[in-house]
Amino acid sequence: MSRELAVSIVGAGGDGAVAAGDILSMACARDGLHVIKTEAYGPQIRGGESSCTVRISSERIFAQADLVDALVVFSWADFARFRSEITPAPDAVIFHEEKDAPPADLSGCTLVPIPFTTLAREAGAPSGKNVLALGMISAALGLPADSVRSAVQHRFGKKTAAVVEANMKAFDRGAEIATTITAVTKKLTYTPGPARLLMSGNETSAVAAVDAGCRFFAGYPITPSSEILHFLGEWLPRIGGTCLQTEDELAAIGAVVGASFTGVKSMTATSGPGLSLMAEMIGLSSMSEVPSVIVNVQRGGPSTGIPTKSEQSDLLHTVFASHGDTPRAVIACSDVEDSYHATVDAFNIAEEFQLPVIVLSDQSIAQRRETLDESALAHEVRDRRLATPDELTDYLRYRVTADGVSPMSVPGMVGGMYQTNGLEHDEQGRPSSMFVTHEAMNAKRYRKLDAIAKRYPLFRRFGPADADLGILCWGSAAGPVREALEKLNTSGLRVAAFVPQMIMPLPKEALEQFVAGCRELLVVELSYSAQFYQYLRTQIDLPKSTHVFARSGGKSLGVHEIIEQVARALNHEVAVREVVS
């Protein structure tokens, strides 16, 4: 009996592994369970091997599956391709195609051969072995079988009655087979609750944009951010907005800055290579003080890198992208729900402080689906401060103010005419190459960061005060770190974690307090060159003895991996890293 369970389904193209995972996740969401669902594919555009992993729990979870308790393997050859991403627990149960001989290295696991193909054919659904497997694991593993069955029915609802009937027969046959399986020891126990939503980080970001009042989106397709373009392409026209697919990322951010200049809240979304192309326009948005929101969904890099997998290696680029002294804000999101709040905050900050704000997400949270409560999708929305009629007499668009924010006029406002400029300019917006103007305007623009730091000192802190070891991490690393801490704290180790959500400007005061309160520090991140560690060193004083666990992305951070690194750090086995510069 267990309060949580992780299931992987692996197969070739056409085996329906991902479809089965979708159905299972939706069924669990219906019964009020907590789910984190991830998918992995081979390199083929269509078809090819695929896998789906669903972590199910009766309590809130923050990380994707680390060790998998149960697997359905339609083909061992396909399983081998995901070997580095799917790790069966030592006591895992593996249901595999009977005629396919298992590899030798899984001897500790319970192997249950099932003639999936034959049974599905017998049930009259030759392509329904995924449904048969669903019926079987639902019954065998204590999953919400009634909801899974309804979900299957719903999924095939639009097909002919014969197809629906065959699939339901396959499902029931699977459930019947389950009664003969005695090898399963770990079953899910839970109390059904009200249904939850099932969303990805890209989807919550897109919904957040709509809620924040965004009515213009321009983007260029790029993995793993395109779902934002898809969603807003469908929804913005419905609510009176506009979505434009541009010729490249230069045009995408250009159109966003143009639209925002007219007073319409605007956004684009991209990934690392696209952000590189947007770098120059980030400078313009900052210099001209025209608000812009950019969602950057990180993937393995540099160059094309690993487009379908996660990494935290755009950090320095995002924080420093562009040329010159370019104030911008960067907010990181650490899970699907967080992507919603980070995106609304990004609009609030961009609009109020008239500067570019980048939401820094990554593939693992942007594309995985998580359950969440609809009530969680709420966040205060703030609007741009437009120039008042009084301010429009002898109007100064770039008036030097205490917090750096100047009254903004938009086209259509009589008396608000000004020329916005990428050239350095005076308070009126007139080009200037004078040192005194440049210095005064730089100071004005940077004062906005001070104001943002005061108003938005966003961070999360987990674990006890006065910790023996403090973990510093950000973004998607927060989930597995949080779960690792729960286990470590339960076992009596005093380990805490600090996760800045505001990356630029950092919540320095709280961060420095945390650092001062920990005996030792461990930085955890998915960046080979330890970009987070490098960045922290530019912002605060870190003790010389700081341990750094930094590795490439391409494989998500595991809870057990963190626990192991914590143990090594406490034994001084994690290298105190000399940063590659």
CA–CA distance, 264 with 2 (Å, rounded to integer): 50
Using rule CB under 8 A, residue 412 touches other proteins? yes
Using rule CB under 8 A, residue 420 touches other proteins? yes
Using rule CB under 8 A, residue 27 touches other proteins? yes
CA–CA distance, 261 with 483 (Å, rounded to integer): 43
- Per-residue HEC secondary structure of 490-551 comes to HCCCCEEEEEECEEECCCHHHHHHHHHHCCEEEEEECCCCCHHHHHHHHHCCCCCCCEEEEC
Using rule CB under 8 A, residue 106 touches other proteins? no
Residue that the structure tokens 């779902």 belong to: 227
Shorter beta-carbon distance to other proteins: residue 244 or 331 = 244
Indicate the Cα dihedral angle 225, 226, 228, 232, nearest 10°: 160
Among 250, 306, 510, 567, binds other proteins (CB under 8 A): 250
Shorter beta-carbon distance to other proteins: residue 263 or 274 = 263
Supply φ then ψ for residue 539, to 5 degrees. -110, -40
Q: How far is CA 475 from the centre of its chain?
A: 8
Using rule CB under 8 A, residue 218 touches other proteins? yes
In the shown chain, the binding pattern of residues 375 to 394 toward other proteins, with x for contact by CB under 8 A and - for none, equals --x-----------------
Shorter beta-carbon distance to other proteins: residue 35 or 330 = 35
Sign of the C-alpha dihedral computed for residues 465, 470, 471 and 472 taken in this order: positive
Q: How far is CA 32 from the centre of its chain?
A: 22
Per CB under 8 A, which region of 241-249, 471-479, 493-501, 567-575 contacts other proteins? 241-249
Indicate the Cα dihedral angle 567, 572, 574, 576, nearest 10°: 150
Contact partners, residue 150, CB within 8 Å, separation at least 6: 27, 30
Among 64, 225, 260, 364, binds other proteins (CB under 8 A): 260
Shorter beta-carbon distance to other proteins: residue 9 or 284 = 284
Using rule CB under 8 A, residue 39 touches other proteins? no
For residue 223, give the 3-state DSSP assignment. Answer: coil
Q: Per DSSP, what are the bridge partners of residue 8? A: 53, 71
Shorter beta-carbon distance to other proteins: residue 146 or 541 = 146
Shorter beta-carbon distance to other proteins: residue 415 or 543 = 415
In 3D space, the residue among 305, 292, 245 whose CA is nearest the CA of residue 264 turns out to be 292
Using rule CB under 8 A, residue 511 touches other proteins? no
Per CB under 8 A, which region of 324-332, 410-418, 438-446, 553-561 contacts other proteins? 410-418
| Nearest-approach distance from CB 264 to other proteins, in angstroms | 4
Contact partners, residue 174, CB within 8 Å, separation at least 6: 119, 131, 132, 133, 134, 135, 136, 137, 138, 139
Using rule CB under 8 A, residue 254 touches other proteins? yes
Using rule CB under 8 A, residue 411 touches other proteins? yes
Secondary structure letter of residue 388 according to DSSP: P
Q: Of residues 542-581, which lie at the interface with other proteins (CB under 8 A)?
A: none
Other residues' Cβ atoms within 10 Å of the Cβ of residue 42: 15
Among 13, 39, 154, 213, binds other proteins (CB under 8 A): 154
| Nearest-approach distance from CB 249 to other proteins, in angstroms | 10
Q: Of residues 70-89, which lie at the interface with other proteins (CB under 8 A)?
A: none
| Nearest-approach distance from CB 299 to other proteins, in angstroms | 24
Tokens representing 326 are 């370019």
Per CB under 8 A, which region of 161-169, 250-258, 317-325, 474-482 contacts other proteins? 250-258
Using rule CB under 8 A, residue 221 touches other proteins? no
- Per-residue HEC secondary structure of 127-151 comes to CCHHHHHHHHHHHHHCCCHHHHHHH
Shorter beta-carbon distance to other proteins: residue 274 or 301 = 274
| Nearest-approach distance from CB 262 to other proteins, in angstroms | 4
| Nearest-approach distance from CB 156 to other proteins, in angstroms | 11
Q: Of residues 303-342, which lie at the interface with other proteins (CB under 8 A)?
A: none
Using rule CB under 8 A, residue 374 touches other proteins? yes
Using rule CB under 8 A, residue 26 touches other proteins? yes
Task: Give the length of the chain.
Answer: 581
Tokens representing 257 are 């800055």
CA–CA distance, 307 with 106 (Å, rounded to integer): 30
Among 281, 346, 478, 523, binds other proteins (CB under 8 A): 281
**Parallel, antiparallel or unpaired: strands 369-372 and 197-200:** antiparallel
Using rule CB under 8 A, residue 266 touches other proteins? yes
Among 15, 16, 20, 30, binds other proteins (CB under 8 A): 30
Using rule CB under 8 A, residue 153 touches other proteins? yes
Shorter beta-carbon distance to other proteins: residue 254 or 558 = 254
CA–CA distance, 164 with 350 (Å, rounded to integer): 50
Q: How many CA atoms lie within 13 A of 222 on its CB side?
A: 31
**Total binding residues for other proteins by CB under 8 A?**
68
Among 103, 221, 431, 543, binds other proteins (CB under 8 A): 431
Q: Of residues 176-215, which lie at the interface with other proteins (CB under 8 A)?
A: 195, 197-199, 203, 207, 210-211, 215
Supply φ then ψ for residue 7, to 5 degrees. -125, 135
- Report whether the peptide linkage leading into residue 431 is cis, meaning its omega lies within 30 degrees of zero: no
Among 110, 246, 437, 442, binds other proteins (CB under 8 A): 246
Using rule CB under 8 A, residue 432 touches other proteins? no
Tokens representing 562 are 């963190």
Shorter beta-carbon distance to other proteins: residue 98 or 211 = 211
Residue numbers of the site for other proteins (CB under 8 A)?
Answer: 26-27, 29-30, 147, 150-151, 153-154, 195, 197-199, 203, 207, 210-211, 215-216, 218, 234-235, 237-240, 242, 244, 246-248, 250-264, 266, 280-281, 284, 288, 374, 377, 411-423, 430-431
